[in-house]
Amino acid sequence: MSNKQGARNWYIVDGYMPYKGKIDEAGFEGHEAVMILNCQDADAEVVMDIYYEDKEPDQNIPIAVPARRVKCLRMDDPNDTGGIVLDRQKQYSLRFRSDIEVIIQYGRMDIAQPNLAYIGMMGYSE
């Protein structure tokens, strides 16, 4: 069996924070999340870069992922994005670089219409 446990470089291209929705119900707010799985016995130090269509990227936002845990980042929570407030309904992309191998998946939950629609996919890794 392999010792790799993932990859050190991950990319998510189609970041797009959906319309928040008008429904007054807990748990159904349009949002995006990034999940990072660290199967290793050491903590992972990850840096996140945010790319845009029309300006220079924000880079080197630090993210700590403890050993043997999954960490969930909410892209609409500045506590999870190094204080950066992403505009809703604007395109952006994400790059993650980790000091050890991890696995990164992306999810979007959209209730703009207002039915629920999903995107769920692995990032691109190398």
**What is the C-alpha separation between 34 and 49, in angstroms, rounded?**
13
- Out of 44, 48, 61, 71, the only residue in the binding site for its own copies (CB under 8 A) is 71
CA 33, 31, 28 angle in degrees (round to 5)?
Answer: 120
- Out of 12, 17, 46, 75, the only residue in the binding site for its own copies (CB under 8 A) is 12
CB of 84 to its own copies, least distance (A): 16
CB of 125 to its own copies, least distance (A): 7
Size of the site for its own copies (CB under 8 A): 59
CA 36, 47, 17 angle in degrees (round to 5)?
Answer: 65
Q: Decide if residue 28 touches its own copies (CB under 8 A).
A: yes
